[in-house]
Structure 1
C-alpha cells in the first residue's frame, strides 16, 4: 500500500449528535480535516460529489481552499457525476485548482450513481441526445473534458479579437500533467476495462454493480487485475494508479464503542442488493480492535492489489473525532499493509 487518504461524503444536517449542522460547517471542517490528515502523514483528502442532497456538491472551491492550506497531500474527488458537468468550464476549474495545488489534484469522475432528483442533470441543462443513455452522455462529457485539459484546441479563434490567431483555441489555464491524474469510478469489471483502454486511473469503491457469488474483495481484486491487464494491452506510457475505499472504524475507547459497537456485527459481512435494476454487492465495514482490523485488511485481496486506500470517514462526528480515527489507522493498522507515513 503506497498511499492512504480519507474520503468524506460531506454530509451535513441537524440530526442528533451532528457536529456538522450546516453546509458552511461541512466545508470548513473538510478543510480542517485535510490539514489534520496531512499533519498525521496521510496522503490524500478526497470528497464525494452528490447533487440535490445535504452533501458536498461543488468540489473546486473546497479543493482550492485545501490546496492553499496544505503543501503535500493529494486533493481529489470520489467521484464527480459527469452527467451534470459542462466539460469546458470544468476543465478551466480543474486546471486552476491543480495549478493552485502545485499539481496535486487527483480527479475522480464517473457516470454517476442514483440521485435524489429524478433526471437531475436535465435541471442543469444536460439531456441525452437521441439514442443516448445517461451513461453515454456522461462519457461524451468526459471525452470533451479530457480533450480540453490536454491543451488541445476546442473553439475556433476569431482573428479580430485573438491577436490575429487562427485555428482552434484551447481553454485557459492549462495545467500540464493533469490529464494523467483523472480516475474513473468503475462499478463493474467491464467499465474497469474501458477505463484502462481510455488511459484513466481506476477508482473502485465499496459497491460493485454485479455479483458473481464470490466475496466482495475477491470480485474487486478480479476487477483490478482485468484493469491492469487491459492497461498493459493498451500500451499506455505512464503507470496507472488504483484506489479502493473501505470503512475502517477502530474501537479504542468508550466514545468509539458508543458510536460503533452496534455496527460491529451488523456490517461485518458483504451485502447484496439491487441498484437501478442491477444486482450489486456491497463491501463490509471493518469495525473492532485495531490489531484485528490490521489482520483483516491485510487479508483483503483488493486492498493488497491496490496502491491507494481511501478511508471513508463519518464526517458529521466532527474534525477532532475523525482526526483521532485517522491517527489510529495510521499508527496501528496501516503499517500492517506496508504503508509508512509521509514526511515533510
Structure 2
C-alpha cells in the first residue's frame, strides 16, 4: 500500500436542528479535516458526489478551499457523476483547481451511483439519453471532458469563416492533469473498459455483481481484469488503483463503544441496487494487530496502491482525525505505508501507447 486517504460522503442534516449540523458545518468541517489529515501525513482527501440529497454535491469549490490551505495532500472525488456535468465547464474548473493545488488533483468520475431523483440529470438540462441509467451520455461527456483537458481545440474562433482559422481550446489548462483522472468502476466489465481507455481505476465501494465470491475476491478479479485490459490495449506505465474500506482501529474505551456499534456483523452484504444484485464489503473493526492481519489477507487491498478509508463525517473533525491518526500510526506502516512528506504518489506516465 503506497498511499491512503479518507473518503467522505459529506452527509449533513438541518442547520439549527438538534445536532446543528447543516451544509455549512459539513463543508467547514471537511476543510478542517483535510488540513488536519495533511499535517498527519495522510495522502488524500476524497469526497463522494450526490445530487438532490443532504450530502456533498458540488466538489470543486470545496476542493479548491482545501487545496488553498494544504501543502501535500491529494484532493479528489470518488466520484463525480458525469451525467450531471457540462464537460467543458468541468474541464475549466478542474484545471483551475489543479493549478491552485499545484498538481495535487486526483479526480474520480464515472456514470455515477443511483441518485435520489429519477433521471435527475434531465432536471439539470441534459436530455437525450436512451439508456435508463444514462451511461450513454456519461461516456460521451467524459470523452469531451478528456479531450478538453488535454488541450484539444473544441470551438471555432469568432469572426472567421468556419474552418478558415485556428480552433480554440479551453482555458486554463494544467499540464499532466489527464494523468490524474480516475474512472469509478462498479463491475468487472466496466473495469475492463477503464483499462482499455488507459485511465486510473477507482474501484467502487460496492460492486453491481454477486457471484458468490467475497467482495474482496470479486474486487481483486476486477483489478486483475483492468490491468490485463490496460496492457492488451498497448499502454505503457503503471496506472494507479484505489479501493475503499471501512476500517476502525480500536484503541480507547470510546473506540470500543462507537466502533463496535458500527461494525454490523463483520461480513459482506448482498442486496439489490440500481436493478442489479450487488455486493457490499464488510467493515473492519478491531485492535491494530487484528486489523493488520485481516487487511493483509484482503486480496484487493494487496493489489491496489491506494486505500481510501470511509469516514463518518457526522461525528466531527476531532473524532475523524483520531480515526485517521490511529490508522496512520498503528496499522498503515505495517502494510507498507510511509507518511506523506513530499506530495502525491507519482509514477510513470500512463495512457501512452507503446511504440
TM-score by length of 1: 0.94
Is the CA contact (8 Å cut-off) linking 1:19 and 1:316 kept in structure 2? no
Alignment of structure 1 residues 73-92 onto 2, 5 Å: 73-92=73-92
Please tell me whether the aligned partners of residues 19 and 318 of structure 1 are also in contact (alpha carbons under 8 angstroms): no
Partner of 2:229: 230
When residues 234 and 228 of structure 1 are mapped into structure 2, their CA distance, relative to the original with a 3 A threshold, is same
Offset of 1:22 from its aligned partner?
1.2
**Correspondence for 2:353:** none
Question: CA distance change for structure 1 residues 133 and 326 in 2, over 3 Å: closer, same or farther?
Answer: closer
Within 1, Cα distance between the matches of 2:177 and 2:18? 36
**1:207–1:283 CA contact under 8 A, matched in 2:** yes
Q: 1:95 and 2:91 equivalent?
A: no
Q: Which residue of 1 aligns with 2:345?
A: none
Q: Unmatched 5+ residue regions in structure 1?
A: none
1:158 — aligned with what? Answer: 158
Query: Which sits farther off after the overlay, 86-95 or 205-214?
Result: 205-214
Q: 2:91, 2:148 within 8 Å by CA — same for their partners in 1?
A: yes
CA RMSD, 1 decimal: 2.0
Q: Does the alignment pair 1:308 with 2:306? A: yes
Which blocks of at least 5 consecutive residues in structure 2 are unaligned? 343-355
Q: Distance in 2 between matches of 1:93 and 1:23?
A: 22
Shift of 1:132: 8.1
C-alpha distance 115-298 of structure 1, shift in aligned 2 (>3 A): same
Instruction: Indicate how the Cα distance of structure 1 residues 182 and 291 shifts in structure 2: closer, same or farther if over 3 A, else same.
Output: same
When residues 340 and 19 of structure 1 are mapped into structure 2, their CA distance, relative to the original with a 3 A threshold, is farther
Secondary structure at the aligned position of 1:227 is classed as helix
Deviation at 1:216, TM superposition (A): 0.8
Change (3 A) 1:72 1:94: same
Q: Distance in 2 between matches of 1:342 and 1:129?
A: 43
SS class of match (1:247): strand
What pairs up with 1:279-298 in 2 under 5 angstroms? 279-298=277-296
2:331 alignment partner, SS class? helix
2:148–2:170 CA contact under 8 A, matched in 1: yes
Please show how residues 144-223 of structure 1 align to structure 2 within 5 Å: 144-159=144-159, 166-223=165-222
1 CA distance for matches of 2:287 and 2:278? 29
Q: 1:284 to 1:340 in 2, by over 3 A?
A: same
Using the TM superposition, give the Cα deviation of residue 211 of structure 1 relative to its aligned residue in structure 2, in angstroms.
1.4
Question: Counterpart in 2 of 1:44?
Answer: 44
Residue 251 of structure 1 aligns with which residue?
A: 250
**SS of corresponding position for 1:274:** strand
Per the alignment, residue 346 of structure 2 pairs with: none
1:98-177 aligned at under 5 Å gives the runs 98-129=98-129, 134-159=134-159, 166-177=165-176
CA shift digits 1:210-233 (9 cap, x unpaired): 111111101101110111111111
Q: Which residue of 1 aligns with 2:335?
A: 337
Q: Secondary structure at the match of 1:262?
A: helix
CA shift for structure 1 position 206: 2.7
Alignment TM-score, normalising by the size of structure 2: 0.92
CA distance in 2, matches of 1:220, 1:247: 15
CA distance in 1: counterparts of 2:109 and 2:299, whole angstroms: 24
Who is 2:270 aligned against?
272
- Give the CA deviation at 1:14: 4.5
Q: Once the 2 structures are TM-superposed, how far is the Cα of residue 335 of structure 1 from its aligned partner?
A: 1.5
User: What corresponds to 1:35 in structure 2?
Assistant: 35
Q: Secondary structure of the residue that 1:280 maps to in structure 2?
A: strand
